[in-house]
Amino acid sequence: MPTPNFDKPIENLLTQLSTREKIGQLFQEKAECEDREDLRARIRAGEIGSLILASTPFAGNETQITLSVEDLNELQRIAIEESPHGIPLIYGRDIIHGCRTVMPVPLGQACSWDESLVRECSAAAAKEASARGVHWTFSPMIDISRDPRWGRVVEGYGEDPFLVGRLGAAAVEGYQGDQLHSMKQNGHLIACAKHFIGYGASEGGRDYNTTEITEHTLRNVYMPPFRKALEHGCLTTMSSFNELNGEPPSGSHRLLTELLKEELGFAGMIVSDWAAVTELIAHGIAANNSEAARIAINAGLDMEMVSRAFLESLEDLLETEAVSLERLDDAVRRVLRIKFCFGLFDDPYTAIRPEALEITPKARSLARRAAAETSILLKNEGSTLPLSPTAGKTLLTGPLLNVQKPLLGTWAMDGRGADACAYLTAFTDAWGPEKILTHETALMDQGLSIAHHHALNGVDQIVVFVGEDSSRGGEHYSVSDLSLPPGQVEYVEQLAAVGLPLIVVVTAGRPLLIERILRCANAVLYSFHGGIEAGRGVLDALTGSTEPRGRLPITFPRATGQIPIYYGRKNTGRPWSNAYVEQLPSPLLPFGFGLSYTSFECTELTLANERISNTSDSIRASVHVRNTGERSGHALIQIYGHDPVSSLSRPIRFLCAYQWVELSPGENKDVIVPIPVNRLGFYDRNGSFVVEPGEFILYAGLDSNAKLHARLRVD
C-alpha cells in the first residue's frame, strides 16, 4: 500500500508547535475522565494528541461505555477550533473481533485458515466502528500463543508464525483497506500490530509475566508475523507489557528502534500499552516517572497511553539534554503522519448516522457464516452428525444451552448480549418446539433425570452444550488448569451412560481438556466463542447446512502439565525420551486437525523438481487427494518442511503452505501447491536470513502429523 507523502505539511506544522504542544501530541488520554472540563481544557491547550475510548485497562471483560458521536465531535471541534494549531485528535478503541456485530473471537477466526474470511470480518468491524467515531483499533494481536493457560490466547491466531502472519496481515488489510488517504471516508480504521514483542511467551501463562526468548527463537518465531503485518502496510504497532530477557520492550532501544524501526523498516508510530511507561518503575529499570519517560522515548516509543510520564517530564529532560529535540520531533512526525494518512486534517468529524449503529442483515449473515465455518468437528462416530429434525425428538441440555452474552467472548466492548442468538433459540426457531425437549439448564440433575425417563419414551438423541464463560479468558484472566468448569465432564459422562446418541458442543476461548468427552461422546463440535450468531452458526454446522471447516490453529494437550506442547518443537539429543511417566507424549489433537462430513485421503506427493537453487522463486508441489466419502466437502491440504541438518537446530516440522480444495464425492484431484523457497529458510546466528544448501523433507497431509513425504535438494 503506497504511503502518501505528507512531509511538507508535517514539517511546516512542526516548526510552529511549542515544546508543550509537541509533547501533547505524544499523549493518549482516557476519554472517560472524571473531570470533563479539565479534559476540554487540556485539549484546548494542545496537551492531548489522542483519546482511548475506554475507562479501564481491563476493557475486554468489563463494561465500557464509550462516548457518543456527538460527544466525540464536540471534543474534536475544540481541538480543531480552539487549540493553538488545530491539530485533530485521533480516537482509539479495542475493536478486536467486531463492533456491534460481534464475530467469532480471533482464535476462532484462525480456525478458518482463510485470509478472506478474516479480511471480511475485520472490514465489517471497521465499518461499524468508524460510524461510531473510532479511527484506530488496537488489533490485530499477532503474538505467538503456545500456552492456552494465558487468557489472551483467545485474542490471537494461534501457535504457528506462518499462519499467524498471514491471518494477521489479512486483518490489517480488512481494517485499513487499500487506499490510505481515503481510509476514513471509506469506513476503515488504522490497524495496530501488537504486542511487540514476545508477550505470548509469558511464564506459566500468567498475564504480563516475564519472558525469556533466545535471539534465534525471537527472530524465527516471534518476529515473522510482525514482518508480514508491516509488509501489508500496518500503520501502528504497540509495545508489550512484558519484560523480555531483562528489557521491558516499552523501554528497549534494541527492540523498538534497532529491530522494529531500523531492521524491519517501520516508518509508522509506536504506542505503549496501557500505562506501560510508568510500569517501567515496577519492572525495576526506572526509579521514577522522569526516568521512565527518558528511557521510553529514547528507546523509540512515540506515544504514551494513559500514564503521564511524558507530559510531566519531557520538558525538563529536553532542557538537560537527557532527551534530544531530534528524538522528540521524530516521534511527533510519526504521530502527525498517521493523522494525515488517515485523513483527519481534511475530514476530522464523524457524520451522525443512527442507522449505521445498527446491525445490518449483511453483517449478521457474515457473522453466522463465520460461526458455522470456523466450528471444528473433532469426532463423528458412526456419522452421528449431521443432525436432522426428522430424526425424532432431541434433548437439548447443558449449562451453555440458553446463554447469550458468554457467546460473544472477551473483548466484545460494543456487543450486546441481547443481540446474541442462544443455542436454544436457534434450535427452537429452526425446528419448532415440538421437535426438542429441554429443562431448566442450571439443574443438571433435572436434565439427567429427563434423559433417563425419555430414553424409553421418545427422545432419539441428546445434544449437550458445555464450555466456559467469556470471563475466564482475555486480558488479566489466565487459568492454572485447562479443565472444564466443575461438574461439566461428569455430566457429559452420565448422559453418555443413558445410551442415546450423544453430541457435545464445547464453547470456549482456549483449548480445554476434553479427552474424557471425546471418549464417551458420539460426536464433538468445538466452537471458540462465536459471537452474535453463534447459536445459528453452530446449528448450521451441526445440521450440515454449512460445512464445519474449522481446523485447529493450536495444539490441544491431554493434560495441563503437558504445556508447552506445540507441533513445531525441536528434537532433543534423545528424541525417543520425551514423555512423562504417567502420560502419553503426544497431544490429544494435533495442530491443523479437523474432520468433515465426508472423508479425504492424500495418496501421493510429488515435486516438479527434486533439486533446486536457493535463489529459485518457488517449489511446485503436487498432492493427490481424493474424497472417499458420500458428501462434497473442503479438504485443507497442509505441507510441512523439515531440515534434517542445519547450522542451528530447527523445528521437527514447520508449516510451509496450505490450500483449501473442494471435492465432490469420489472426486480425485492433483492439487498444485506453490511453496516459496524462502519458506525453507531461517535467521542464523548473525541475524541474516539464509536458505542453507542441503536436503529437506516435505510432508503433506491433513494435519501436522502428515505422513506423505518427498525429498528435496537445495543447492
pLDDT digits (tens, 9 = 90+) for 309-342: 999 999 999 999 999 999 999 999 999 999 999 9
| pLDDT at 433 > cutoff 70 | yes
Give pLDDT, residue 456. Answer: 59
Let me know the angle formed at the C-alpha of 466 by 596 and 584, rounded to the nearest 5 degrees.
Answer: 65
Span 388-398, average pLDDT: 88
pLDDT digits (tens, 9 = 90+) for 257-301: 999 999 999 999 999 999 999 999 999 999 999 999 999 999 999
Give pLDDT, residue 364. Answer: 97
Beta bridge partners, 503, equal 463, 523
Q: Which residue has the cell 485528535?
A: 89
| pLDDT at 63 > cutoff 70 | no
Count Cα neighbours of 516 within 13 Å in the Cβ-side half-sphere: 15
Span 200-213, average pLDDT: 94
Pairing of strands 393-397, 436-437: parallel
Span 415-440, average pLDDT: 95
pLDDT digits (tens, 9 = 90+) for 624-666: 999 999 999 999 999 999 999 999 999 999 999 999 999 999 9
Give pLDDT, residue 58. Answer: 77
Give pLDDT, residue 184. Answer: 87
Residue, of 391 and 236, whose pLDDT is higher = 236
- Residue 211 to residue 285: CA distance in whole angstroms: 16
Give pLDDT, residue 615. Answer: 80
Span 90-106, average pLDDT: 97
What are the b/e assignments for 487-515, b being 16+ CB within 10 Å? ebbebbebbbebebbbbbbbbbbbbbbbe
Span 551-563, average pLDDT: 97
Phi, psi angle pair for 81, to nearest 5°: -100, -25
Q: How far is CA 644 from CA 83, 549, 641, in A?
A: 63, 33, 10
Single-letter residue type at 663? L
Single-letter residue type at 308? R
Give pLDDT, residue 65. Answer: 67
| pLDDT at 3 > cutoff 80 | no
Beta bridge partners, 454, equal none
| pLDDT at 1 > cutoff 60 | no
Contacts of 576 (CB under 8 A, 6+ apart): none
Q: Which of 160, 211, 197, 221 shows the shortest CA–CA distance to 648?
A: 221
- Residue 558 to residue 584: CA distance in whole angstroms: 8
Secondary structure element (H or E) that encloses residue 634, with its range: strand 633-642
- Residue 711 to residue 266: CA distance in whole angstroms: 38
Of the ranges 92-96, 352-356, 452-456, 578-582, which is most confident? 92-96
Give pLDDT, residue 528. Answer: 98
pLDDT digits (tens, 9 = 90+) for 495-547: 999 999 999 999 999 999 999 999 999 999 999 999 999 999 999 999 999 99
Give pLDDT, residue 259. Answer: 97
Single-letter residue type at 332? V
Catalytic hit among 114, 160, 273, 419: 273
Span 429-435, average pLDDT: 94
Give pLDDT, residue 457. Answer: 66
pLDDT digits (tens, 9 = 90+) for 603-625: 999 999 899 988 878 999 999 99
**In order of start, what are the domains of the chain with their CATH numbers?**
365-562 (3.40.50.1700), 600-714 (2.60.40.10)
- Residue 207 to residue 58: CA distance in whole angstroms: 12
Span 428-449, average pLDDT: 88
Pairing of strands 618-627, 633-642: unpaired
Give pLDDT, residue 455. Answer: 65
Give pLDDT, residue 485. Answer: 96
> Among this protein's residues, is 273 annotated catalytic?
yes
What are the b/e assignments for 79-99, b being 16+ CB within 10 Å? bbeebeeebbbbbbbbbbbbb
Mean pLDDT of the chain: 95
Give pLDDT, residue 306. Answer: 96
pLDDT band at 394 (very low <50, low <70, confident <90, very high): very high
